Structures are given as structure tokens and as C-alpha cells.
């Protein structure tokens, strides 16, 4: 029988294609009889442990023929070792050295900012074996929830292969040059990750550990593991557009005092989240031109409102009643050509827009990906007349 103590045998006999076979042998006193039992190995996952061979024997027709002594064994066991190329002692003593670094770097004072065009992280890894063969070499990856494993690519043209399988949502196991990572071999490869759109953590953390079935001394185990981390922030991909129903307004000199207030016009602002990150507690500030030279107020905001959107609260940080005052206080104004002036106005009107939803517990909701919010500003011109 082959691999008697294993649940699944690694080798099978050729004649039966089974782990065990049976045959009868005729022997004579004082003679040696030999039989060949060919077998083949089909599972080479375990190169370290030899294949066990067990022979169970007995004498037929013991009632009318000879019998074995009761003290004699009826089982013969031997081991058939794989060729390991591990020196005269046949014990593989290895020294694996692992090095790795990220292609991004950030600190608490200056975090790395993750932007939409590049939401990927690359980790350069080098693994080398400084001593004897390392069998069943494996690399284990554990990484934080804000990363998704994407791919592994070997950096140079080599016969070595690295294959990875998922252990969980945040860990992978990769076998390196299966079944043997040979003595004095070295491999450089790159791990690629994508940043998660749902788990936004302030740090990127990763631990890489290499191990094998060969023997490694305690003194050299310190470089078998690498821990990486960096501080990150996330940049939202917000897109703002605006349009107005009044692109040009000309004040005619012949207007009367009763026409001191110009037409009301609308400016529509559209705020859209184009990124994959939900944005919470967003505050949008708009500064509108309202004061010309000589502190002459020429425009005032009368109202700000949103369309069919909950959780948008707007406020105007300016004196809206100033509009009514200017209706009564119509002052002379001589013609002025402002076409060649770089800065026409001073900004005195500020609009604060909080995009949030209040519940009874005052928690704030988020702006989902590709969500668009539209709000409108009503504005009136205050007209000064030539006297």
C-alpha cells in the first residue's frame, strides 16, 4: 500500500491504478525472490514528506502447511523519498528574504491624496532564497479594507511562476515557483491594488509574510515579513455647472426713477458627484459680485431655493434689505466705461449651501455617486440713473 496514513494517496500502482495491490508469491527455503511493483506519482504538492510503502504478508493454507512464528512481524514498511538536492544530510535549510515598498507615501502632516484619475496602488516586492531549496514557498498578503487586490505581475523574464488565490475579502495566498524555489534564486514582482469606493479609511495598511516547508533558522526569520502603511485622504470628484436666463443687461439712460429695480433673473447651479466616493456634510460657498466702485451696490440676491431635493439648506450672508433701501435712495451716477477694468466689482454677497439631511438624531446623509443637486439663485439689479 502507498501512503497508507494519508487520506488521499500521492501515488498509484500501475497495474491497478489504485493505492494498493495484491499478488501471490511462491517461495522456497533458502531462496530470494524479487518482484517489481511499478507505480507513478500524480500529486507532487508535498515534496518534503516521502511516500510511504507498506507490505502486509501472510502464508496461505496454514491448516495443512507451514506457519509463521507468532513473534515474527507480518508488516514491512519503507519510505521512498523525493530527490530534494539539499546536501548530504538531505535536510533543506533555507533563508528567505522579503523586501517590499509602496509607490505612494503619506504622513499625518501631509497625507497622500487619492484622486479619481489614479485610484490604484502598486507594491514592488523582491523575494530571494540565500541558502538551500525552499519547497512549497508561499507568500501571504493581508491588507486593509480600503484596498481590493487587482493583479500580480513578474517584473523580469523568468521561468518562475507565482499564482495567487483568495483566502478572504482582505487576504490572499500566493505560491512562489511551485513546487521548489531553488537555492540562490531571486524574483521581482509587482502587486496592484485598487482603492475601495465604500471603505474610506485614513490609513492604507498591508502585511506580507513568506514561508516554506523547508527548515529556516530562528536567526533569519526576521526578514520573512514586511509591514507597510501610509496615511491617505480622498479627493471628491465634484462637478459644478451654471447657467442663467439673463446673459446681458443694458441700463438705458432714459429710464425713470420708478424703474430703479432691474429685472429679476435666475442663475441655476448644478452640483454633481462624479466620483465613486459618497460625500457627506458638504458645504458649498458661492460669492457673487454686488458692489462696484464707490461702494455702489448694483445687484442683490433676493432668494435661493432648490428643486425637488431634500437635505439642501441655503442661507445668504448679506443684507437683503439693502435692496429696499436702494429703491428709496436713488443717487446720481455719471456714465462710466468699465470694459477696460480688470476687476469690476467687490464681492459682498456670500451664499452658504449645506447639502445634508437632518433627522431627529441630527445625523447627516451622504451624496451618492453620480447624484446631481440643482438649486437656483434669484438676483435683481439695482439701477442708478444719469442725472
DSSP 255-297: --GGG-EEEEEEEEEEEEE-SSS-EESEEEEEEEEEEEGGGEE
Do the domains spanning 96-234 and 238-382 agree at the CATH topology level? Answer: yes
Q: Among residues of the chain, what percentage have pLDDT more than 70? A: 71
Domain map (residue ranges) of the chain: 1-82, 96-234, 238-382
- The pLDDT tens digits for 371-380 are 566 666 666 5
- The pLDDT tens digits for 200-216 are 899 999 999 999 988 99
CATH number of 238-382: 2.60.40.1530
Where on the phi/psi map is residue 150: left (φ > 0), alpha (ψ -120 to 50), or beta?
A: alpha
- The pLDDT tens digits for 123-173 are 999 999 999 989 889 999 999 999 999 999 998 877 888 999 999 999 999
Q: Which of the pair, 263 or 265, is modelled with greater confidence?
A: 265
Is the pLDDT at 346 greater than 60? The verdict is no
In this prediction, residues 85-102 reach a mean pLDDT of: 87
Residue 102: its pLDDT value, please?
A: 95
Q: Which of the pair, 117 or 166, is modelled with greater confidence?
A: 166
Is the pLDDT at 14 greater than 50? The verdict is yes
For residues 321, 323, 324 and 326, what is the CA-based torsion angle, rounded to 10 degrees?
Answer: 130
From the centroid of its chain, how far is CA 348? 45
218: three-class secondary structure by DSSP: helix
Q: Give the C-alpha separation, 196 to 208, whole Å.
A: 20
In this prediction, residues 213-238 reach a mean pLDDT of: 92
Q: Give the C-alpha separation, 313 to 359, whole Å.
A: 14
Residue 364: its pLDDT value, please?
A: 36
Q: CATH fold of 96-234, please?
A: Immunoglobulin-like (2.60.40)
- The pLDDT tens digits for 277-313 are 887 777 777 777 776 666 666 677 777 777 766 777 7
Pick the CATH number of 1-82 from 3.90.1010.10, 2.60.40.1460, 3.40.1190.20, 3.90.1150.10: 2.60.40.1460
pTM comes to 0.64
Amino acid at each position: 500500500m502507498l501512503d497508507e496514513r494519508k487520506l488521499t494517496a500521492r501515488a498509484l500502482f500501475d497495474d491497478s491504478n489504485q493505492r494498493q495491490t495484491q499478488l501471490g508469491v511462491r517461495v522456497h527455503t533458502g531462496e530470494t525472490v524479487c518482484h517489481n511493483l511499478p507505480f507513478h506519482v500524480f500529486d507532487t504538492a508535498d515534496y518534503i514528506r516521502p511516500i510511504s510503502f507498506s507490505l502486509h504478508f501472510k502464508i496461505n493454507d496454514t491448516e495443512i502447511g507451514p506457519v509463521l512464528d507468532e513473534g515474527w512481524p507480518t508488516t514491512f514498511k519503507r519510505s521512498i523519498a523525493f530527490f530534494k538536492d539539499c546536501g548530504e544530510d538531505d535536510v533543506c535549510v533555507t533563508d528567505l528574504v522579503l523586501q517590499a515598498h509602496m509607490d505612494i507615501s503619506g504622513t499625518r502632516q501631509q497625507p497622500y491624496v487619492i484622486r479619481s484619475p489614479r485610484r490604484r496602488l502598486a507594491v514592488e516586492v523582491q523575494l530571494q532564497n540565500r541558502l538551500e531549496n525552499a519547497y512549497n514557498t508561499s507568500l501571504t498578503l493581508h491588507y486593509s479594507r480600503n484596498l481590493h487586490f487587482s493583479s500580480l505581475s513578474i517584473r523580469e523574464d523568468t521561468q518562475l511562476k507565482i499564482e495567487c488565490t483568495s483566502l478572504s475579502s482582505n487576504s490572499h495566498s500566493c505560491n512562489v515557483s511551485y513546487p521548489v524555489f531553488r537555492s540562490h534564486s531571486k524574483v521581482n514582482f509587482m502587486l496592484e491594488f485598487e482603492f475601495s469606493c465604500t471603505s474610506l479609511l485614513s490609513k492604507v495598511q498591508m502585511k506580507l509574510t513568506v514561508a516554506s516547508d523547508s527548515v529556516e533558522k530562528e536567526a533569519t526569520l526576521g526578514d520573512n515579513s514586511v509591514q507597510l502603511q501610509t496615511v491617505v485622504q480622498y479627493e471628491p470628484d465634484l462637478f459644478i455647472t451654471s447657467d442663467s436666463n439673463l446673459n446681458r443687461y443694458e441700463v438705458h439712460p432714459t429710464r425713470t426713477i420708478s424703474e430703479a429695480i432691474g429685472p429679476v433673473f435666475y442663475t441655476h447651479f448644478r452640483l454633481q458627484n462624479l466620483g465613486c466616493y459618497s460625500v457627506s456634510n458638504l458645504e458649498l460657498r458661492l460669492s457673487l459680485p454686488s458692489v462696484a466702485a464707490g461702494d455702489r451696490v448694483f445687484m442683490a440676491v433676493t432668494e435661493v431655493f432648490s428643486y425637488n431635493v431634500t437635505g439642501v439648506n441655503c442661507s445668504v450672508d448679506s443684507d437683503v434689505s439693502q435692496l429696499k433701501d436702494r429703491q428709496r435712495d436713488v443717487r446720481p451716477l455719471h456714465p462710466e466705461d468699465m470694459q477696460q477694468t480688470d476687476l469690476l466689482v467687490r464681492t459682498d454677497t456670500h451664499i452658504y449651501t449645506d447639502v445634508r439631511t437632518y433627522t431627529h438624531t441630527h445625523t447627516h446623509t451622504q451624496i451618492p455617486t453620480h447624484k446631481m443637486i440643482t438649486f437656483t439663485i434669484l438676483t435683481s439689479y439695482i439701477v442708478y440713473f444719469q442725472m
